[in-house]
Amino acid sequence: MAYLFLTAFQQREDAAAMNAKYKTIYLYSFTKYIEWPPDYKDGNFVIGVCGTQTSLLAELNRMASTKTAGSQKIEIRSITNIEAAGKCHILFLPTENMIQFGDVASKLKGHGTLLVTEKEGMLKKGSAVNFIVVDSKIKFQLSKLNAEKQKLKISHELEALAVGNND
């Protein structure tokens, strides 16, 4: 007699989506701990993602559909050309798109854009926040100096949560 209720191989959940969720939580948290210049306080709060990171864009859009940045509606943009990116409050540059997008930091100089990267050494190349992996966990490094160059004010709480002093 065979079992009618057969043993099935279980399906695994998507780990990439999980990683995207962590990054989304971080990016959304930055909206609470960072102050943007006055001319960035009107209109939508734009989070741009360089390239077509499907999982991350999906997670960010899910977040944007229920959350706001203060009183600003959150808008998620998939950026394929930095020159045509428009006004972004946060710009995330994934490692795999670094070559394609070139020197993003210099292109954003003076804009009120928080550049977020995920590669060792990127703070030296102008990014203000850099995701790193520490003991298998996603954490972030922070350069207050680079943020200030973009006219952004970083809260002490966020500074305390960052890994090490990077300035």
Partner 1 sequence: MIKRLTYLLVGFFLLTGGAKLYAQNADFIAAHNFANQNKVDSAKARIDKAMSDPKVQKDAQAWYVRGFIYKMYYKAKESENRSSPARIEAVRAFRKSIQLDTSKQLLNDDKENLKYLAVRYHNDAAKALDTSNYETPIYNFQQYKDIMNEIEPSMSTKGKEIEFTMALATVYTNLYLASPRVRNKYLDMAKGAYNRVLTVDPDNVSANYNMGILYYNQAVYLIKVTDFDIDLTTMDGLQENQIKLFKQSLPLIEKAYQLDPQKEEAVQALSGIYFGLNDYQKSQLFMEKLEQMKKQKKDK
Q: Which of 66, 71, 81, 106 binds partner 1 (CB under 8 A)?
A: 66
**67 near partner 1 (CB under 8 A):** yes
Residue closer to partner 1 (CB basis): 82 or 128: 128
Residues 30, 21: Cα–Cα separation, whole Å: 14
Tokens representing 21 are 């969720």
Residue closer to partner 1 (CB basis): 17 or 145: 17
Q: In what order do the strands lie in the sheet with 72-79?
A: 68-69, 72-79, 45-50, 90-93, 114-117, 129-134, 137-142
Q: Which of 44, 58, 61, 63 binds partner 1 (CB under 8 A)?
A: 63
Residues 77-96: x/- map of binding to partner 1 (CB under 8 A)?
--------------------
C-alpha closest to that of 24 among 74, 71, 84: 74
Residues 40, 74: Cα–Cα separation, whole Å: 12
Residues 100-139: x/- map of binding to partner 1 (CB under 8 A)?
---------------------------------x-xxxxx
